[in-house]
Amino acid sequence: MSDTLRLVETLISRPSVTPDDAGCQALMIERLSAVGFECTTLNFGPAQAPVTNLWAIRRGAGHAQGAPTLVFAGHTDVVPTGPLDQWSSPPFVPTHRDGMLFGRGAADMKTSLAAMVVASEEFIAAHPDHQGSIAFLITSDEEGPSVDGTVQVCEWLQARGERLDCCIVGEPTSVKSLGDMIKNGRRGSLSGKLRVKGVQGHIAYPHLARNPIHLAAPALAELVAMRWDEGNEHFPPTSWQMSNIHAGTGANNVIPGELLIDFNFRFSTESTPEGLQARVHEVLQRHGLDYSIDWALSGRPFLTRPGSLIEAISGAITAVTGLQTELSTSGGTSDGRFIAQICPQVVEFGPINATIHKIDECVATQDIDPLKDIYKQTLSRLLC
């Protein structure tokens, strides 16, 4: 059994259901401290249940002269298991079957964390006087609200004047084979809760009421049909989707007094949150609606164009797997959206994502050490 596999199994065995770290970061600190990392635990959030975060850095010989800092970023928390009786084996007991390692977090993202740690250990052993710096930014609040984790650590780093040059987020990005895809950006996410006011009344006397469903329908049809932008070479066009709609008391003879709609934009770099909000308000106001919207911006879009980081990790993938990787901005949000605010080059790369958040989550055992080797080669290409 390889050192990376042993560490993956140890991490899986710790039931770190978000936001509980369950000692995963302490294990990482033990390993990283032993090879010269300065480790800082950062607790943010409610005093009775703070979120555990880790910033660890090993400064290279050329740090003061501007040699780059490469950050490995990720999360120790995992999503809940779901019904235990539907798992083929206990989710926090690492189990091998048919060439796969099963356990909650196997793919998302404890394999990446273990590979990052062991890659750093092996790189440092081979290059103890490396020029650039290696850092880890780890949270236990990625699968939850994401308010007391990476975003807070980034603000802390910015206040300290810490410079980040490149970052690899260990999200599972591979599709069919390890290394076939990396994410070099993500769309932004802007949500809204729309309340359209009417006047409740008896359904037999509509002239004495104002039905907010009827009032809002033309505006909603316009919003559904609207072309928000055309996207670009890296992003598809911005989309607007309603996720929930509710009105009424449950009785079929009452005109409702209020309509509630939840909606979300997944937007490209061609649009801004402010511009999208303004266009929504323009439509609703033009239709004469009595309304309010509670807005929530969970992340702006980011894009890393080809440069030193993409060149290094793409070259490492080809050297280890023989594949030419694909750059993609598809999928949902990740903590990369926060890191990109303080780091000019951010990509996501990790194992195959087919089973993430599912019952019987797993990773191919044969992919574990090659993932470590890709991370290690990326370190060599950037920091030597």
Rounded to an integer, what distance in angstroms lies between the CA atom of residue 277 and that of residue 293? 10
DSSP string, 97-153: ETTEEESTTIIIIIHHHHHHHHHHHHHHHH-TT-SSEEEEEEES-SSS--SSSHHHH
- Active site includes 233? no
Query: What is the C-alpha to C-alpha distance for residues 76 and 88, in angstroms, rounded to an integer?
Result: 23
Answer for the pair 314, 182: CB distance below 8 angstroms, yes or no: yes
Please give the backbone phi and psi of residue 30, each rounded to the nearest 5 degrees, phi first: -60, -45
Question: What is the C-alpha to C-alpha distance for residues 309 and 315, in angstroms, rounded to an integer?
Answer: 10
Q: How far apart, in whole angstroms, are the C-alpha atoms of residue 150 and residue 81?
A: 23
CA distance 203 to 251: 10
Q: Could you list the beta-strand ranges (E) of 165-269.
A: 166-169, 181-183, 185-186, 188-197, 201-202, 239-247, 254-255, 258-267
Numbers of helices and strands, H then E, in the chain: 9, 19
> In 3-state terms, what secondary structure has residue 282?
helix
Q: Which one is catalytic: 142, 143, 148, 360?
A: 142
- CA 301/CA 149 separation, integer angstroms: 19
Catalytic hit among 77, 148, 360, 373: 77
Residue 142 known to be catalytic:
yes
Q: Among all residues, which ones are annotated catalytic?
A: 77, 142
